Amino acid sequence: MLMPAITAEERTSLLAWWREAGVDTLVGETPFAWLAPPERTSENKGNGEDAAAARAPTPLPGSIAALDAWLAGGDDVPGAAWGTTRIAAAGDPAAALMIVTGQPEPGDAGEGRLFGGALGQLFDRMLAAIGQTRESVYLAPIAPVRAPGGTVAPEVMERLGAIMRHRIALAGPKRVLVLGNAASRALLGTELRAARGSIRALKHGAGTVEAVASFPPRMLLEHPAAKAEAWKDLLLVSRKGA
Residue boundaries of the structural domains of the chain: 77-239
Q: Does the pLDDT value for residue 129 go beyond 50? A: yes
Assign domain 77-239 to its CATH superfamily: Uracil-DNA glycosylase-like domain (3.40.470.10)
Mean pLDDT of the chain: 82
Residue 20: pLDDT band (50, 70, 90) is very low
d(CA 130, CA 124): 10
Q: What is the pLDDT of residues 67-85, one digit of tens each?
A: 999 999 999 999 988 988 8
d(CA 234, CA 242): 13
Short-list 119, 113, 122, 174, CA closest to 140 = 113
pLDDT: is 72 or 205 the higher one? Answer: 72
- 227 burial (CB, 10 Å; 0-12 / 13-18 / 19+) is middle
Short-list 241, 73, 221, CA closest to 211 = 241
Give the pLDDT of residue 80: 87
Q: CB neighbours of 110 closer than 8 A, spacing ≥ 6?
A: 116
pTM score: 0.75
Average of per-residue pLDDT across 3-24: 47
State the alpha helices, DSSP H only, in the chain.
8-20, 47-55, 64-73, 108-111, 117-129, 154-171, 181-188, 192-195, 217-222, 227-239
Give the pLDDT of residue 210: 97
Average of per-residue pLDDT across 49-64: 63
Contact between 207 and 200 (Cβ < 8 Å): no
